Structure 1
Amino acid sequence: MVKTRAPSWLAWSVWGTAAFFYLAGFYLVDSWGARRLLIVGSIVAASGTFIFGSTSNFFIASAGRALVGGATAVGWVVTLKLATHWFPSSRFAMVSGLGLFMGNMGALVAQVPLRLLVERFGWRAVALVSGAVLLLIAALTATLVKNDPRDDGYETYAPEALRSTDHLSLRTLLKGFRHVFAYRNTWLIFLAQGGFVGSMIAFTGLWGPPYLRARFGIASTTAAAVCSVMIVCWAVASPLCGYWSDEIRRRKPIYLTGAIVASVGWTLMFYVTTLPLAMFVVVSAVTSFACGAVILGFAYAKESVPVHFLGTISGATNVGNMIGPMLLQPAIGRVLDARWSGELVNGLRVYNADAFRAGLLLIVGWSALTAILIAFTRETYCRQAS
Structure 2
Amino acid sequence: MKRSHSNTGANPDVRVRMRRLRWTTFSLVAASYMLAFFHRMAPAAIASDLQLAFDASATALGALAATYFYVYTLMQIPTGILADTLGPRRIVTLGGAIAGVGSLLFGYAVTMTEASIGRMLIGLGVSVAFIALLKINAAWFHDRHFGTMVGLTLVLGNIGSVMAAAPLAWVLQFTTWNTVFIVLGGVSFALAVLTWLFVRDHPGEAGLPSLREMDGHEAHPPHEGHWFEGLMTVLRNRYTWPIFWMNLGIGGSFIAFAGLWAVPYLSDVYGMERVAATQHTSLMLAGFAIGAFSVGVLSDRLGRRRPALISTAFVHLLCWLPLVFALPMSLAMSYSLFLLMGLSAGSFTLSWACVKEVNPHALSGMATSVVNTGVFLGTGILQPLVGWTLDRAGTAQGAAAQYRLGILIFFFCVVVGFVGSLRVRETYCRYIS
TM-score by length of 1: 0.91
Partner of 1:348: none
Asked whether the equivalents of residues 14 and 68 of structure 1 are also in contact (C-alpha less than 8 Å), the reply is yes
Deviation readout 1:302-334 (Å, 9 max, x if unpaired)? 112233432321110111121121111112112
Asked whether the equivalents of residues 63 and 383 of structure 2 are also in contact (C-alpha less than 8 Å), the reply is no
Instruction: Note the C-alpha offset of 1:152.
Output: 2.8
Instruction: Note the C-alpha offset of 1:183.
Output: 2.5
CA, structure 1 residues 33+129, in 2 after alignment: closer, same or farther (shift >3 Å)? same
CA, structure 1 residues 162+205, in 2 after alignment: closer, same or farther (shift >3 Å)? farther
Partner of 2:144: 90
- Asked if residue 123 in structure 1 is aligned to residue 177 in structure 2, the reply is yes
Q: Letter of the aligned partner of 1:326 in structure 2?
A: G
Return 16-25 or 225-234, whichever deviates more. Answer: 16-25
Partner of 2:30: none
1:1-386 paired onto structure 2 within 5 Å: 5-6=57-58, 7-157=61-211, 160-161=219-220, 163-164=222-223, 172-341=226-395, 352-386=399-433
Asked whether the equivalents of residues 307 and 385 of structure 1 are also in contact (C-alpha less than 8 Å), the reply is no
Partner of 1:347: none
CA, structure 1 residues 31+184, in 2 after alignment: closer, same or farther (shift >3 Å)? closer
CA, structure 1 residues 174+335, in 2 after alignment: closer, same or farther (shift >3 Å)? farther
Identity across aligned pairs (percent)? Answer: 29
SS of the counterpart of 2:359?
A: coil
Distance 2:423 2:83 in 1: 32
Distance 1:136 1:152 in 2: 23
Distance 2:149 2:298 in 1: 12
Distance 1:323 1:174 in 2: 22
- Provide the aligned C-alpha RMSD in A: 2.1
Instruction: Note the C-alpha offset of 1:179.
Output: 3.1
Instruction: Note the C-alpha offset of 1:295.
Output: 1.4
Distance 2:228 2:174 in 1: 48
Instruction: Note the C-alpha offset of 1:161.
Output: 4.6
Asked whether the equivalents of residues 250 and 418 of structure 2 are also in contact (C-alpha less than 8 Å), the reply is no
Return 274-283 or 127-136, whichever deviates more. Answer: 274-283
Asked whether the equivalents of residues 134 and 365 of structure 2 are also in contact (C-alpha less than 8 Å), the reply is no
Instruction: Note the C-alpha offset of 1:272.
Output: 4.8
SS of the counterpart of 2:173?
A: helix
SS of the counterpart of 1:121?
A: coil
Asked whether the equivalents of residues 22 and 319 of structure 1 are also in contact (C-alpha less than 8 Å), the reply is yes
Instruction: Note the C-alpha offset of 1:211.
Output: 0.6
Distance 1:183 1:32 in 2: 24
TM-score by length of 2: 0.81
Matched residue pairs, number? Answer: 373
SS of the counterpart of 1:185?
A: coil
Deviation readout 1:198-252 (Å, 9 max, x if unpaired)? 1221111100001101122111111011100000000111111111101111111
Distance 2:66 2:237 in 1: 29
Distance 2:87 2:359 in 1: 23
CA, structure 1 residues 83+282, in 2 after alignment: closer, same or farther (shift >3 Å)? same
Instruction: Note the C-alpha offset of 1:97.
Output: 1.3
Deviation readout 1:254-275 (Å, 9 max, x if unpaired)? 1111111001001123425122
Instruction: Note the C-alpha offset of 1:162.
Output: 5.4
Q: Letter of the aligned partner of 2:163 in structure 1?
A: V
